[in-house]
Amino acid sequence: MIPPRANADFVCAMEDVLDLYHEPYDPDYPVICFDEGGKQLFAETRVPMPMTPGQPLRFDYEYERCGTANLFMFFEPLAAWRHVTVTEQHTMIDFAHCLRTLVDVHRPNATKIRIVLDNLSTHKPAALYHAFEPDEARRIAQRLEFHYTPKHGSWLNMAEIELSVLQRQCLDRRIDNHNFLTTEVHAWLQRRNHEACTVKWQFSTTDARRKLHKLYPSFQA
């Protein structure tokens, strides 16, 4: 439940993101959504029983914990493109290096990259100054324009939708090490990019004002 005093902040951030999603595609000013997720790594303690006619592959309920991995997702819906980086941690340093890769490798010719992301404490432009020298941090920051989803409004981030697809199609099984996880995630995103899979966002600011009107503060002249 959103406190009444926070409604105006929520609405302002929501409409900013919704208006951004309905702008036409512009390669000079791409709109790229960012989110991150985790994956627990598990190893089998017994060899799975192979498939037989009428019987699927069977796994023992016991497993061995092998740590965790982090997944950084960049997703550009209008270009039907996504990129996933697998890391051992999700610090602001890791986040900053992902931003530099986005700017210099994935979108080197863009004038300004408009990035949609949530309010996690590590997801700030200041992360660049923790990772790089001031000149380098400023160079990267000047290529980025941050648009934050409102608190309790992560459903507005299309990268969250794409992470859910990744979980269902690729990660819904036991994976025991970072190298294999990286290989599997790379194969998944290569297929998704090749097939030009994307999210066709329909919800607009007009829809929000009609369907979520209770969130809007009372107007006072």
The predicted-structure confidence for 174-190, as pLDDT tens digits, reads as follows 788 888 899 999 999 99
pTM of the model: 0.86
Supply the pLDDT for residue 41.
75
Q: Which domains does the chain have, with CATH numbers?
A: 26-37+66-212 (3.30.420.10)
Q: How far is CA 142 from CA 82, 112, 125, 132, in A?
A: 22, 8, 10, 14
How far is the C-alpha of 85 from the C-alpha of 94, rounded, in Å? 10
pLDDT value of position 173: 80
pLDDT at 107: 97
Could you say which residues of the chain have pLDDT below 50?
Answer: 1-2
